[in-house]
Each structure stands twice: as structure tokens, then as C-alpha cells.
Structure 1
């Protein structure tokens, strides 16, 4: 009996459905590198609006995406506190599975006020266990605010509980060019990020220092080309690509990191 066009179409549909299901299954079986952080990791929608870019938009170019997924969940304006309290962390955490990786970089917004009417995003300075109850004027309710280190430890413990690997990055330095001179300052949040990572025995990338080391071999005019003219914090495409390459440089020094095998 000769098959008609209807039977052939049905057979092709079944084959395509099975093939698509296998592709989706294979995609889900791959580990994922999740990125969380502020605008220096992903600015806006990560498409370079206003010439503002975060390094998370380019780090995927260094990985073999046939063997690992890279998902940038960072959001501009967030601190280690508000990324959790504003409901951004829960949907990311829900997707994390055993064998995944979570790279985090916070600090730029943690120095803000605890309870201002603009963002109420600040954290208590340091890495201790102290807390303070404040009235959050945005949410119009009381909130117990903790230290920068407390919120980092919360991320780390949540990731570990999922059987995934947390990686802490120190926050990128701000534009160090002042009056045509390079002024490299110490960053408390970079130090605190390192202290938390060491205490929790998790991988740490000294991104702040790696970038400053790079700046130390450059001149003021070159460094200025890495930042937007709008402020002293946000990088343009060139600056974000440089920072992404230095994240990978730092990652390669972590000899026991399982994430290294997914690099190109």
C-alpha cells in the first residue's frame, strides 16, 4: 500500500517532535553558569543601550557553549541585599541544579543608604553577623538589614545546598582617572568579598585587583576609553570585554575549579 501525503506528513511530524525533545533534553542536561550581580555585570537588558555594557554580556564568548550554558541574571541597581529581598534570587535559585555554577559580583550599590526613599538598597558595612531593623519607605514596612558579608554567605549557602558551585568575584574598580592621572584606591568591598570567600572555602576571583593591575600598566588616556562619559562606574563595550577576559584569567588560576574544563 503506497503511503499518501497525509501519512508522510504525520510521520515527519512525529520524527521532528522526537528530535526536538532530544535536543531540549540534551540542552537541559548541560551544566549552567549563572551570573548574578549589578549593572557592571549586566547593564539594562544587556544589549548595550546608551553604550553601557557589563562584563557578563561577553564572558560567554570564552566558554564552549556546546558543553555549558551561560545565563546572565544580573540586574542594574541591585545590591547583595535587594537582589534577594526584591525577589530576583528565588527564580534563579529555582533553576539551579547539581553540577551548575553561580558566579556573583556585588558591592557597588551596597554602600548606599539603608532606608532612603530612592532605592533603600544599602547593606551594613563589613562581613559580621550584626543587623539593624529599619523602616523601608519603598515597601512601607519594617525590614531587618544585615551586613554585606551576611548576604554573600546567604548566596553561597543557597548554592551549596543545591549541589552547585559558588564563585565570588570582587567588584570591578571605578574609573581611576582623576585630573589626567591614575589613582588606584583600595576597595573595602573587594576585601570583604575575598574574606567571605576564604571563610566559606569557595572559589574567589580577585577581579578588582586583576583590573587594577591591568590599569597599572596602561596610561590614563587608554583607561578612559574603557568607561562611558556618563559616570565613573559603568564600562562601555571595550571596558566590559576587558573585564570579561580578566574574569577568565582569574578563573584559570583556580586549579581545582571544575568550571575551567568548559573554557574554549
Structure 2
């Protein structure tokens, strides 16, 4: 079985010069290597539209076969494009993606976007508008599974608190990182510590949805 990933920078394998910045997809393989191979097609800056226009979606579909699972997580960058409104172009593009995955005999799973870390007055605030809700609604409409990463990451950040949750993200002071010599306080992109936490949750979610083969089937493989 293959797990194929479509998404933006919060899912993608980051360039080596950005280390230890990381999307969660870069750390999924160690969690599930015993029963599935991970193919990560996610790209920084991608939307549901650009992912198709740049040929990444075509490449992903080319590799998808019956029995594979395709995880789809977009929203961060769609939110910045007026024509990709949650209940407009974004939802339409996701419907098309789901249909095309199913046409290949693979199983689509939608993921709500991981939340940004944005605290105000000590309270965590939602930043993604209607995008997570629309993904959940599409799950009901299309009869497919949804991994609600948005709700889970919100709970995680709130549990860790405003200070504790910083360790999940890419925060560096001046002179601490060669690529960002002036420092960087990024509350969207994960430090590899945070990416690993999300990847572990995704792996548990996939098992809970029944995608992990039974032990006797693993023995056959």
C-alpha cells in the first residue's frame, strides 16, 4: 500500500537549507513504514489550483493505484485567493480531486488544515475561517473519511499554552540560523518537533480508519 500526500508547506518536505523547518508529511514514513510507503507530493505555497496547474496532481494520480490512500490537505494558501473561497473554488477543486482519486481505484481522505499558532490576550484564535468546516462538510457530502487536524492542533496548542506551544514552531533569534540570519518567528511552519507530533497523530488516525492491514496480512506482504 502507498500513502500519497497532496498539500502545502505544512505537509511538504522542506528544502534542506530550511532545516529544521518541516511539514508533517516528512515524518509520516517512520510512523507507518511497516505497512505502507509514503510518497509526499506536497509543495510550499500550493493551493488546490496551483497543485494541479504545476503538474503535481497529475504526477500523484499517475502513481496512484487501487488500494492506495491519498491524503489531501489544503487551505492555508487558498485562503489568500479570492476565487478559492472556502465555499467556492476551494470546495469545487476538492470535489474534483476526490472524484479523480476514486476513478483510479484509490481512497481519498480529506484533512482539515493544521491551525496556525495565534494567541491574543492569552487565548488561541482560529485563523482559517470556514475552510476546516467546509472540509468536514465535504466528508459528509461525498461519503469519505476526514482527519480533523485543525481541531486536534487547536487542542494541542491550547494544552501546551502560549509559551509551551512555541516549541512546535519555527522560532529562531538573530544569528541562530544561517538561512534566516536576522531571526524568524514563524507561527505557521513547524519545527521538526511539531511536525513529528502531527505525523504521529495522522498515523494513529489512519489506523483508526482501518487502513493498516491486519497482522496476518502483513505477514503475507
TM-score (norm: length of structure 2): 0.83
2:14 and 2:23 in contact (8 A); partners too: no
Distance in 1 separating the partners of 2:214 and 2:42: 21
* Bigger helix share: 2
Distance in 2 separating the partners of 1:251 and 1:177: 30
For this pair of structures, how many residues does the alignment match?
202
Is 1:260 matched with 2:208? Answer: no
Is 1:226 matched with 2:168? Answer: yes
Q: Which runs of 4+ in 1 moved over 4 A?
A: none
Distance in 2 separating the partners of 1:72 and 1:223: 26
Distance in 1 separating the partners of 2:58 and 2:214: 26
Is 1:242 matched with 2:197? Answer: yes
1:1-264 paired onto structure 2 within 5 Å? 31-45=1-15, 47=16, 49-65=18-34, 67-113=35-81, 123-128=83-88, 147-178=89-120, 181-185=122-126, 187=128, 188-229=130-171, 230=184, 231-254=186-209, 257=210, 259-261=211-213
1:64 and 1:262 in contact (8 A); partners too: no
Superposition deviation, residue 126 in structure 1: 2.8
1:39 and 1:54 in contact (8 A); partners too: yes
2:32 and 2:203 in contact (8 A); partners too: no
Distance in 2 separating the partners of 1:56 and 1:246: 11
Distance in 2 separating the partners of 1:48 and 1:35: 22
Q: Specify every segment of 5 or more residues in structure 2 that has no aligned partner in the other structure, as ranges.
A: 172-183
What are the Cα deviations for residues 137-176 of structure 1, in whole angstroms up to 9, with x where unaligned? xxxxxxxxxx100111111111000000001110000013
Superposition deviation, residue 32 in structure 1: 0.9
CA RMSD of aligned residues (A): 2.2
2:6 and 2:42 in contact (8 A); partners too: yes
TM-score (norm: length of structure 1): 0.70
1:210 and 1:250 in contact (8 A); partners too: no
Decide which structure has the larger Cα Rg and report it. Answer: 1
